């Protein structure tokens, strides 16, 4: 028997399955009689659909169904509503939400928009048919740059939405901020661009859907992050049926990064086809389809202004953002550049006042939805770039400037000027630990070594403060079986992220039961009555919290059984280290024995039934948590070619309690790698004239590869767990990609200081570096 | 992918005969370009003639003055060959930097040069080393082999049997990889023979080209300093997401110097 502890570096129990090709992903599921669906997508960024001639395609042997937007409307299906938490303009009027149907209605608004569904006996026949569908388009002017889309006279993506403005938003005290700016000694301004990126999960999206006429119910296998919420939208909003008519399962999911949290059109299309044809229907995205039709992220253009005094004390922060949301509101698209980016403005620095204003804008591009961090990395980039610019322009030491302005530990708990509840942490201590870790004493030697090799070395440090998000409520259920196995069902969901290890670890640690006896269920609407899925670094916070609450319910009931077994009173029984003890009688019995007894009527108190230990719990967080930390990096720049290499990377993160340091490390490394990707390589760029996605394949869209990612030294600050949830965790999933982009960009600028380069935009490609050096030459 | 007929000949003559009989046949070497293009339905050959089982296309043999490498030799095999490594290290280095391990284990020398992707690495080696392409019917000088973007001197159905690389006194390849594809944004191979210096550039233009100014300067003085001030014109160079013509022109100068330095070491 193996019981485990909270904080133990337990190896991932799912790794053998996943790493030996035994994972079960959607494409591994094939059902008898399965038909294949493909989607005809728009080749144009903006065009009127004049005519769709499907005759030749429909005549092809083996083609069973072709559905267009008009067919879809005729079925009476509803549009997919946005769930953006920011849904009102500054003046209180509602945001502009155009109808989003599963297929384009009479007009296409981005390259890759779904125009028709084709279902055939095989994928090949379906693709043959796709090529035979003749769509006559009348091209319309397109706009892909959100700043240009806002201008008067820009092409209108929606006829009734002026200036392509979805919503305008503000948070903070505008007047107080204005006053603070006027009173401050210095005002530093910087245009800050967060580039457009996309998640590129290793497993593309995929679906298998069936319909059972006898019960009038659907079964949907979906590579998704969120079975419950997506089911509800498909059922209630699109099909106008009750959610329980759809059994929604996410099998193994190969990465999501937010892009699998969206309500896409394909699941409803596949379920519709399954019902029409009375046979299972499968759809698997191709990689090129993933680039075109998975939601994108970031793409914010911000004017950031910092007011500070001559001694370097920060007074106020003001940010004005134009956020691209693509052609539709999608699932929560308008939230990211508005509320999502506002909350953590200013990071861990003390400000008297702040003001954040933002406009979410439609463009002729693939819509945006949360991408790892969803607004907090953008905010971290904005504050860290302006702080670096302030140090540079005022001739201040960037380390000292940051140190001076960090919120002192004794000021916590506090509310930030953006209303963020910062309850715990020690930002100065984390900052100093990161500095100590980064071997500043050896820096000048490393600079000299780089110089001897013809390279310029730079250093930067970036403290950060972010927050969790996603659904506040989570369910956990514990079921015991007579054979000793325990089934743990949780409504949060992993996507390859180790939840199968972490959640049982919590259960095992809390109950003192063997971890290998625990079976884990997730991603199944039949396994949990509710569930918030994966997103917002919420899983340990609320899912883990629910597991703790469920174990507490088990312990309460088990105490009564233990008391019965030990001839004690339940009030005299205490539980620790897997043992129920009565201090008065000095008798004890282990949890495993109590579990065995719970199946034997003769050993149970009179009012308890066999199987009585099964327990459910729902945990709902009151306030979101604030993961924070500090990253430092050294880069080497080859000034001749402009090539950048990340040489060293140091991390001290405060995620509260660390449940499993191996899993936490994995989250941190992945987040940092993704942040390095945004900083140096990734750019989902559209052609301004044609609206075509230029970086539409892995030959053009540069992902960071393992050989480009540095070794990371990772430490955790565990002295400030939060009281906002039972485990004291703060969320680890998105933190890495918050500080990584600014720490890399600032380190590059630090290296290029002797060359006179003061600004660079992400991704900082080798050509941009070379050009900047070239341009800065006197 | 559209339907096609698949053939797996055992000999070169069988392969060439098959090609003649096919409507719109295509030789399949490592398939690292052809298969993805077919999957995207951008190519639709009626017949694929798989060369994988023709053993005579996989030899690496050496004489005093040259190494001859079969057309179906993989990049990984060339990188790992002790013969190539000891006598023509520049070529082994080049092969070891192509794509990723998957590509290197499947992709072949013959397949790569027959495709003549403007950003492929081998063309720089063929031209800089003055290699000869040996086909089923003739010998083609390296300088005459690459004729335009994705075009070569190969006739319809002509099959690359092997490439004969003369052994230079010195040679080195310097490459600046595209961060996404790891093809060359620019790649420069420099070689020094008793009677000639060659500088060949891949990745930067529509297809591989030599730089006579650099060759002349290096013939006088084989040192990085000799070409310090030489810039190639940006005018006809490639422009894409990852590099402008001006940047490519700059990289060619830097890479040429670095290749010369490496060749000297």
Tokens of A389: 């610019």
For residues A62 and A43, what is the distance between their CA atoms, to the nearest angstrom? 25
Name which of A243, A244, A250, A259 is nearest A221 in CA terms: A250
> Of the residues A620, A643, A662, which one is the last residue of a structural domain?
A620
In b/e form, how buried is each residue of A125-154, taking b as 16+ CB within 10 angstroms? bbbbbbebbebebeebebbbbbeebbeeeb
Paired with A689 in beta bridges are none
* CB contacts, 8 Å: B254 with chain A: 640-641
Is the domain of A517 the same as that of A603?
yes
In b/e form, how buried is each residue of B121-137, taking b as 16+ CB within 10 angstroms? bbbbbbbbbbbbbbbbe
* CB contacts, 8 Å: A646 with chain B: none
- Domain extent, residue A123, equals 31-140+202-255+260-293
Across the interface, whether the CB atoms of A767 and B181 are under 8 A apart is answered no
* pLDDT score for A343: 96
Name which of A168, A160, A155 is nearest A109 in CA terms: A155
> Is A604 within the bounds of a domain?
yes
Crossing angle of helices A740-751 and A661-676, in 10° steps, is 50
Helix, coil or strand: residue A603 = helix
- Interface check for A453 against chain B (CB to CB < 8 A): the answer is no
Across the interface, whether the CB atoms of A700 and B180 are under 8 A apart is answered yes
Q: Is residue B96 predicted with pLDDT exceeding 80? A: yes
Q: Which residue of A has its CA nearest to B186?
A: A641
Is the domain of A679 the same as that of A726?
yes
For residues A369 and A256, what is the distance between their CA atoms, to the nearest angstrom? 12
* CB contacts, 8 Å: B247 with chain A: 767, 770-771
* pLDDT score for A3: 78
Task: Name the burial class of residue A213, with classes exposed (0-12), middle (13-18) and buried (19+) by CB atoms within 10 angstroms of its CB.
Answer: exposed
Assess contact for A210 and A331: CB atoms under 8 A.
no
* CB contacts, 8 Å: A770 with chain B: 247, 250
Mean pLDDT of B69-81: 98
Distance from the Cα of A765 to chain B's closest Cα (Å) equals: 8
Is the domain of A44 the same as that of A91?
yes
Is the domain of A693 the same as that of A734?
yes
- Interface check for A685 against chain B (CB to CB < 8 A): the answer is yes
Give every residue of chain A whose pLDDT is below 50, as ranges: none
Name which of A69, A17, A25, A27 is nearest A48 in CA terms: A69
Is the domain of A248 the same as that of A374?
no
Crossing angle of helices A398-405 and A427-437, in 10° steps, is 150
Q: Which residue of B has its CA nearest to A125?
A: B2
> Is B218 within the bounds of a domain?
yes
Distance from the Cα of B28 to chain A's closest Cα (Å) equals: 21
CATH number for position B243: 3.30.390.50
> Is A150 within the bounds of a domain?
no
Across the interface, whether the CB atoms of B180 and A640 are under 8 A apart is answered no
- Torsion from C-alpha of B235, B237, B242, B243, nearest 10 degrees: -40
> Is A436 within the bounds of a domain?
yes
Crossing angle of helices A740-751 and A376-394, in 10° steps, is 20
Tokens of A157: 């993506």
CATH number for position A250: 3.90.1170.50
* CB contacts, 8 Å: A127 with chain B: 41
- Interface check for A127 against chain B (CB to CB < 8 A): the answer is yes
* pLDDT score for A778: 62
Tokens of A267: 């699941």
Total domains, chain A: 3
For residues B13 and A706, what is the distance between their CA atoms, to the nearest angstrom? 44
Assess contact for A365 and A197: CB atoms under 8 A.
no
> Is B101 within the bounds of a domain?
no
Question: How many helices (H) and strands (E) are present in chain A, helices listed first?
Answer: 20, 28
Check the CA dihedral A717-A719-A723-A725 and report its sign.
positive
* pLDDT score for A677: 98
- Interface probe for A, chosen from B185, B224, B240, B241 (most Cβ of A below 10 Å), is B241
Q: Which residue of B has its CA nearest to A763?
A: B242
Across the interface, whether the CB atoms of A702 and B178 are under 8 A apart is answered yes
Is the domain of A461 the same as that of A345?
yes
> Is B238 within the bounds of a domain?
yes
Is the domain of A605 the same as that of A641?
no
| Cis upstream peptide for A413 (omega within 30°) | yes
Distance from the Cα of B195 to chain A's closest Cα (Å) equals: 31
> Is B97 within the bounds of a domain?
no
- C-alpha A383 chain-centroid distance: 21
CATH number for position A657: 3.30.365.10
Is the domain of A404 the same as that of A478?
no
| Cis upstream peptide for A233 (omega within 30°) | no
- Torsion from C-alpha of A712, A717, A723, A724, nearest 10 degrees: -20
* CB contacts, 8 Å: A694 with chain B: 241
Other CB atoms within 10 Å distance of the CB of residue B186: 30
> Is A163 within the bounds of a domain?
no
CA triple A161-A163-A168, angle to 5 deg: 85
Give the C-alpha distances (Å, rounded to integers) separating A60 from A56, A66, A126, A127, B143. Answer: 7, 11, 9, 11, 50
Across the interface, whether the CB atoms of A702 and B180 are under 8 A apart is answered yes
Say if strands A296-308 and A186-198 run parallel, antiparallel, or are unpaired: antiparallel
- Interface probe for B, chosen from A770, A771, A773 (most Cβ of B below 10 Å), is A770
Total domains, chain B: 2
> Is A165 within the bounds of a domain?
no
Binding-face residues of B in 119-178 toward A, CB within 8 A: 176, 178
* CB contacts, 8 Å: B40 with chain A: 288
> Is B133 within the bounds of a domain?
no
Give the C-alpha distances (Å, rounded to integers) separating B249 from A229, B174, B205, B253. Answer: 53, 14, 9, 7
> Is A65 within the bounds of a domain?
yes
> Is B161 within the bounds of a domain?
no
Is the domain of A486 the same as that of A460?
no
* CB contacts, 8 Å: B179 with chain A: 680-681, 702, 708, 765
What is the value of ipTM here, to two decimals?
0.96
Assess contact for A660 and A256: CB atoms under 8 A.
no
Distance from the Cα of A711 to chain B's closest Cα (Å) equals: 19
Is the domain of A437 the same as that of A516?
no
> Is A543 within the bounds of a domain?
yes
CA triple A307-A311-A312, angle to 5 deg: 45
**Alpha helices, H only, A527-605:** 545-565, 591-597
Tokens of B151: 């075009």
Residue-wise DSSP of A415-439: E-TT--EE-S--HHHHHHHHHHHTT
Helix, coil or strand: residue A452 = helix
Task: Name the burial class of residue A105, with classes exposed (0-12), middle (13-18) and buried (19+) by CB atoms within 10 angstroms of its CB.
Answer: middle
- Domain extent, residue B47, equals 1-51
Is the domain of A89 the same as that of A109?
yes
For residues A620 and A390, what is the distance between their CA atoms, to the nearest angstrom? 41
Distance from the Cα of B258 to chain A's closest Cα (Å) equals: 11
For residues A345 and A416, what is the distance between their CA atoms, to the nearest angstrom? 9
> Is B187 within the bounds of a domain?
yes
> Is B79 within the bounds of a domain?
no
- C-alpha A306 chain-centroid distance: 28
Is the domain of A349 the same as that of A220?
no
- C-alpha A648 chain-centroid distance: 26
Q: Which residue of B has its CA nearest to A286?
A: B40
- Interface probe for A, chosen from B37, B96, B247, B257 (most Cβ of A below 10 Å), is B247
């Amino acid at each position: 028997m193996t019981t485990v502890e909270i904080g133990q570096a337990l190896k991932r129990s799912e790794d053998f399955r996943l790493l030996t090709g035994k994972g079960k992903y959607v494409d591994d599921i094939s059902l008898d009689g399965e038909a294949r669906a493909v989607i005809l997508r728009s080749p144009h960024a903006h065009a009127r659909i004049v005519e769709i001639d499907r005759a030749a395609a429909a005549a092809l042997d083996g083609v069973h169904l072709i559905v267009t937007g008009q067919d879809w409307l005729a079925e009476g299906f509803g549009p997919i509503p946005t769930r953006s938490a920011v849904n009102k303009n500054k003046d209180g009027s509602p945001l502009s939400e155009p109808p989003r149907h599963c297929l384009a209605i009479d007009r296409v608004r981005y390259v890759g928009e779904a125009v028709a569904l084709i279902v055939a006996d095989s994928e090949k026949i379906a693709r043959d048919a796709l090529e035979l569908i003749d769509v006559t388009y009348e091209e319309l002017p397109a706009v892909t740059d959100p700043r240009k889309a806002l201008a008067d006279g820009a092409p209108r993506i929606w006829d009734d939405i002026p200036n392509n403005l979805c919503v305008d938003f503000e948070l903070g005290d505008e007047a107080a901020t204005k006053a603070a700016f006027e009173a401050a000694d210095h005002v530093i301004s910087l245009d800050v661009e967060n580039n457009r990126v996309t998640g590129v999960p290793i497993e593309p999206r995929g679906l298998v859907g069936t319909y059972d006429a006898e019960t009038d119910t659907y079964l949907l296998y979906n590579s998704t992050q969120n079975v419950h919420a997506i089911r509800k939208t498909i059922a209630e909003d699109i099909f106008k049926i009750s959610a329980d008519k759809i059994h929604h399962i996410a099998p193994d999911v190969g990465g999501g990064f937010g892009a699998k949290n969206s309500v896409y059109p394909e699941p409803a299309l596949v379920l519709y086809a399954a019902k029409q044809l009375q046979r299972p229907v499968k759809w698997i995205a191709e990689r090129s389809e993933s680039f075109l039709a998975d939601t994108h992220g970031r793409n914010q253009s911000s004017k950031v202004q910092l007011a500070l005094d001559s001694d370097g004390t920060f007074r106020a922060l003001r940010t004005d953002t134009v956020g691209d949301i693509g052609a539709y509101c999608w699932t929560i698209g308008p939230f990211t550049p508005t509320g999502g980016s506002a909350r953590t403005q200013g990071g861990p620095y003390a400000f008297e006042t702040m003001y954040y204003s933002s406009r979410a804008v439609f463009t002729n591009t693939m819509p945006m939805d949360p991408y790892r961090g969803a607004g907090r990395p953008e905010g971290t980039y904005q504050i860290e770039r302006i702080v670096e610019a302030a140090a540079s322009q005022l001739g201040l030491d960037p380390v000292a400037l940051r140190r001076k302005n960090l919120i002192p530990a004794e000021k916590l708990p506090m509310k930030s000027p953006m209303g963020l509840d910062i309850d715990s942490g020690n930002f100065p201590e984390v900052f100093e630990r990161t500095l100590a870790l980064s071997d500043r004493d050896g820096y000048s030697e490393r600079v000299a070594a780089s110089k001897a090799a013809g390279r310029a070395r730079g250093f930067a440090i970036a403290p950060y403060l972010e927050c969790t998000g996603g659904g506040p409520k989570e369910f956990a259920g514990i079921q015991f079986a007579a054979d000793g196995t325990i089934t743990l069902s949780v409504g949060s969901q992993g996507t390859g992220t180790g939840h199968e290890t972490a959640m049982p670890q919590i259960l095992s640690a809390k109950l003192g039961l063997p971890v290998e006896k625990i079976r884990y269920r997730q991603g199944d609407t039949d396994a949990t009555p509710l569930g918030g899925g994966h997103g917002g670094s919420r899983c340990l916070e609320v899912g883990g919290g629910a597991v703790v609450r469920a174990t507490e319910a088990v312990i309460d009931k088990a105490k009564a059984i233990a008391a019965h077994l030990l001839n004690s009173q339940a009030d005299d029984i205490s539980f620790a280290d897997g043992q129920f003890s009565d201090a008065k009688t000095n008798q004890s019995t282990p949890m495993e024995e109590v579990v065995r007894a719970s199946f034997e009527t003769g050993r149970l108190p009179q009012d308890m039934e066999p199987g009585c230990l099964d327990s459910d719990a729902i945990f709902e967080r009151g306030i979101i948590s604030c993961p924070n930390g500090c990253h430092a990096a050294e880069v080497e720049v080859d000034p001749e070619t402009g090539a950048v290499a990340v040489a060293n990377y140091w991390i001290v993160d405060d995620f509260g309690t660390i449940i499993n340091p191996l899993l936490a490390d994995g989250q941190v490394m992945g987040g940092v790698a993704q942040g390095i990707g945004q900083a140096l390589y990734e750019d989902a760029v559209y052609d301004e004239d044609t609206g075509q996605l230029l970086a539409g394949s892995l030959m053009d869209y540069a992902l960071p590869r393992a050989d480009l990612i540095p070794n990371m030294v990772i430490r955790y600050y565990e002295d400030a767990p939060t009281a906002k949830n039972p485990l004291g965790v703060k969320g680890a999933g998105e933190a890495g990609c918050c500080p990584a982009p600014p720490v890399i960009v600032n380190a590059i600028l630090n290296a290029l200081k002797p060359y006179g380069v003061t600004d660079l935009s992400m991704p900082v490609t080798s050509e941009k570096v070379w050009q900047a050096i070239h341009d800065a030459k006197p | 992918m559209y339907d096609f007929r698949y053939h797996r000949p055992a000999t070169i003559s069988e392969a060439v005969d098959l090609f003649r009989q096919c409507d719109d046949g295509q030789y399949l070497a490592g398939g690292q370009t052809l298969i993805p293009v077919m999957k995207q339905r951008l190519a639709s050959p009626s017949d694929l003639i798989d060369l994988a089982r023709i053993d005579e296309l996989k030899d690496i043999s050496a004489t005093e003055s040259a190494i001859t490498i079969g057309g179906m030799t993989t990049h990984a095999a060339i990188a790992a060959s002790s013969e190539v490594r000891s006598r023509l290290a520049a070529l082994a280095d080049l092969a070891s930097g192509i794509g990723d391990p998957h590509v290197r284990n499947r992709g072949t020398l013959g397949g790569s040069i027959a495709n003549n992707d403007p950003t492929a690495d081998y063309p720089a080696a063929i031209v800089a080393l003055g290699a000869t392409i040996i086909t089923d019917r003739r010998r083609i000088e390296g300088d005459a082999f690459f004729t335009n973007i994705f075009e070569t001197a190969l006739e319809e159905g002509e099959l690359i049997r092997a490439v004969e690389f003369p052994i230079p006194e010195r040679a080195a390849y310097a490459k600046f990889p595209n961060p996404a594809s790891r093809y060359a944004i620019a790649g420069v191979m420099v070689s020094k023979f008793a009677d000639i210096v060659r500088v060949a550039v891949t990745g930067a233009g529509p297809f591989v080209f030599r730089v006579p100014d650099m060759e002349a300067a290096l013939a006088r003085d084989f040192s990085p300093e000799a070409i310090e001030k030489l810039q190639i014109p940006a005018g006809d160079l490639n422009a894409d997401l990852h590099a402008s013509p001006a940047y490519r022109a700059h990289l060619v100068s830097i890479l040429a110097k670095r290749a010369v330095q490496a060749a000297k070491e």
